[in-house]
Amino acid sequence: MSNKKVFYFYNPDVGNFHYGPGHPMKPHRLSVIHSLVLNYGLNKKMQVYRPYRASAHDMCRFHADDYIEFLQRVTPQNIQGYTKYLTNFNVGDDCPVFEGLFDFCSMYTGASLEGATKLNHKCCDIAINWSGGLHHAKKFEASGFCYVNDIVIAILELLKYYSRVLYIDIDVHHGDGVQEAFYLTDRVMTVSFHKYGSYFFPGTGDMYEIGADSGRYYSVNVPLKEGIDDLSYYQVFKPVIQYVMDFFRPTAIVLQCGADSLDGDRLGRFSLSTRGHGDCVKLVRDFNVPLLAVGGGGYTLRNVARCWTYETSLLVDEVISNELPYTEYLEYFAPDFTLHPEVVSRQENANTKQYLDSIVRHVYDNLKMIQHSPSVQMQDVPGDMMPTEEAAMMDDLDPDVRVSQMEEDRRVEPTNEFYNGDKDQDRGSSDNNEI
């Protein structure tokens, strides 16, 4: 068992929002994932936090004030009064106004921000926020189902303590919002593996988008064609990430684990299995660099839930059964009820070995141009964006309750404490008669 300390951020209300009928983005997937995490017992292997809720002030670290003010004020009831702003801020079909919109943004952004803060203070080695990862949001507008770019806000927080932050994106769509935010700096390297071409959203992410000014060669793009499978994906992922680690030497990593790169996704065009997707997470985990893992895309709910549950098990280094435990959502996973369903690809892999090799060569040639491990001058570190509420919360605990829910969530079960099930008492085989 790994001795990494893992913090898991989850607000029970974050899965209750609804983008609207027919919209592919389903926040409900977060409730299903959390249910699986609990029923696999993974919550006992990490500390569970009900996260901080980001304020408008937190969001304005990156976004424009008038855009965040609009998100705070607009509702489905008063939308007529904001008609002229809808086009300005790209709010409409893809990014609709729904009930509780700002609350939703506040929850997922606050969780990423708190994860970054905990990493800054070395409280944990890995922070997980599956509700985050909304990588398309821009400074002045919403984009691609994303309103507030929690990733950019978390990276800005990490930069207070970490000299070099690496952003890795394995969503099927290009991580354009994060790339754009850090396109001119050498302190953040953005690496995105995504489907490119044939007018696929967002239309950016060509391999020749490499950054500019101080950030030249610090944007790495791996444009892939449809149908890529586990073998081909890992053939390009492993060497590219190894080169990035060797040349950039990040002191912290943010990993966006978009699950729309899985086979059978409603919007994606790749053919990855949950195991293949998880292999990328495992590779990044094994670099032993402080890590913030966030969610992202994923539009076939049962596949997203399987994927991020499996990746939670990888991040806490626990082996879990392929047979799904009983949960209130079990019927979602019919007919196989397994964690790793068989991949029956809808399309041919259009990525030849020669094409993938040429991308790896291109990335390597560009990385050779960068200054090894750019350094940062000494400076005063600004205060944390989010207040430290831990002490106040501890003061509010009921003295008549022996173990509060908060304390229970943060207790990590030692691996040698007890066996589950039939072997709970004797620690031996259930087949022998030893007392």
For the question of residue 135 being annotated catalytic, the response is no
Half-sphere exposure of 236 (CA within 13 A, CB side): 30
Query: Binding residue per annotation — 260?
Result: yes
Going by C-alpha positions, the residue among 181, 311, 144 that lies closest to residue 167 is 181
Q: How far apart are CA 386 and CA 382, in angstroms?
A: 12
Q: How far apart are CA 166 and CA 252, in angstroms?
A: 6
Query: Binding residue per annotation — 144?
Result: yes
Residue at token pair 């790994």: 2
CB 246 within 8 A of CB 279: no
Residue at token pair 């079990």: 330
Query: Binding residue per annotation — 174?
Result: no
Residue at token pair 């912290």: 252
Q: How far apart are CA 263 and CA 50, in angstroms?
A: 32
Half-sphere exposure of 198 (CA within 13 A, CB side): 10
Among 63, 135, 136, 277, the active-site one is 136
DSSP strand pairing (6-9 vs 219-224): unpaired
CB 154 within 8 A of CB 132: yes
Query: Binding residue per annotation — 94?
Result: yes
Q: Binding site for a divalent metal cation: residue ranges?
A: 171, 173, 260
Sequence ranges of the binding site for substrate: 94, 144, 299
Residues taking part in catalysis: 136
Which residues contribute to the annotated binding site?
94, 144, 171, 173, 260, 299
